[in-house]
Chains A and B, each alone.
Chain A
Amino acid sequence: MSRKRLNSGPDLRTMTMTKIVSSSRQQRKTFSIIGMAGCFGLFMVLMQLALSYPVLAWVSLAPALASVVFACLWISALDEVARQTHYRAWSWGGSIGLMVSLFTFLWLALQPGLFDRAIGALGVAEPAMVGLGAGLMLAFVPASLGYFIWWAVAWLRRG
């Protein structure tokens, strides 16, 4: 009897339940995206204010950590196909990006005096901090770009 009902068409009770679950998934996605954007905005504002009030740099850690929580909520709200696409994009795109970083680091290491010349040309006051920041960016940006490009191609190819 129950199999017959399943085969004959949609079960209204199941349909209602599914609709509730679907809208809940969508709501969680929207909520987490707004949360991440809000945290990022707050983080940027606090970092700007930290130039005048250095203690705010520590306060900015709160929205940074909160954004990680929202990111976890967002990834858990995705269905498994979308989630796997993000995992694959991070694995392949991110790894290719890290390879680009590695080769760039190697190339820079083989150019003696290049960093000093660049710092001299820019005329920055704190070369060590600039060097640290540039190193972090060089490690982070290509991996993120690789992830984004891989994900964007997968997204454009979806049916």
Chain B
Amino acid sequence: MRNRLKVLRAERNWSQADLAEKLDVSRQSVNAIETGKYDPSLPLAFKIAAVFGVSIEQIFSADDVAQAAE
């Protein structure tokens, strides 16, 4: 799974700690999601989308879908 978490975060000038606080998770958890070490559950993915004010598809994409688009 690929994600645009880092880009979206940078656009808003938020640190990992800022995002972690908004999502009610630890900073390490944000880092794990951002680096692709962990794929979030659907409820957390919805929460992330709500925090950024975008749809889930605008943040996450499957590896094969992303490769096909490129």
Contacts and interface: CB of A to CB of B under 8 A. Distances in A.
Interface of A: 3, 6-7, 9-10, 14-15, 18-19, 21-22, 25, 79-82, 84, 158-159
Query: Interface size for chain B: under 10, 10 to 19, 20 to 34, or 35 or more residues?
Result: 20 to 34
B63 interface: no
B67 interface: no
A22 B18 CA distance: 12
18 contacts: A3-B53, A7-B52, A9-B12, A15-B21, A18-B21, A18-B22, A18-B24, A19-B21, A21-B24, A22-B21, A22-B24, A25-B24, A80-B29, A81-B32, A81-B33, A82-B28, A84-B38, A159-B32
A7 B25 contact: no
A25 B20 CA distance: 13
B35 interface: yes
Closest 7 CB pairs of A and B: A6-B53, A81-B29, A159-B31, A79-B25, A158-B28, A21-B24, A3-B53
A7 B53 contact: yes
A58 B35 CA distance: 50
Contacts of A81: 25-26, 28-29, 32-33, 38, 40
B44 to A, nearest CB: 6
Contacts, number: 51
Contacts of B29: 79-82
B35 A159 contact: yes
A158 B25 CA distance: 14
A158 B24 contact: no
A61 B13 CA distance: 53
Interface string B32-62: 1101001011001000001111000000000
A80 B41 CA distance: 8
Contacts of B35: 159
A10 B38 contact: no
